[in-house]
Amino acid sequence: MVVMDLFLSRYVYFMIVVLLAIGIYGMLGKRNLMKKLIGMNIFQTAIFLFFIEGATKAGGSVPVIDEMLGMEAAKYINPLPHVLILTGIVVGLSLTGVALAFLLRIYNAYKTLDDKAIMANMKESPE
């Protein structure tokens, strides 16, 4: 019963660990570069969820001063982690766009996205 209570109180962290594992498997276990990129995006999403979940506060309010809550900082949610994650999302999106452009160029040059086939092709042609 204790394990079940632990799981129910921290289920978000278990789901984040599952997403992290899926992302690492996608990046390290797959040979297709597009699948590696998808794994990287899943991994990034898990990291974002981890930071956002850690930034939540039970009973906290938005960081706008309310006369009923007063000036006590403990009653408000810190907006800094949310802003940093928003910046991370923008950087991750731009990174994904650049990676997709590189994948398109790689596919046009080698007619495959398999990393071992690309490396073999690069060793054959010294250009």
Question: What average pLDDT score do residues 97-120 get?
Answer: 95
Distance (Å, whole) CA 22 – CA 66: 42
Residues in the chain: 127
Distance (Å, whole) CA 13 – CA 10: 6
Range of the structural domain that residue 114 is part of: 2-124
**Confidence tier at 127 by pLDDT (50, 70, 90):** low
CATH of the domain at 96: 1.10.287.3510
Domain count, the chain: 1
pLDDT digits (tens, 9 = 90+) for 3-41: 788 777 788 899 999 999 999 999 999 999 999 999 999
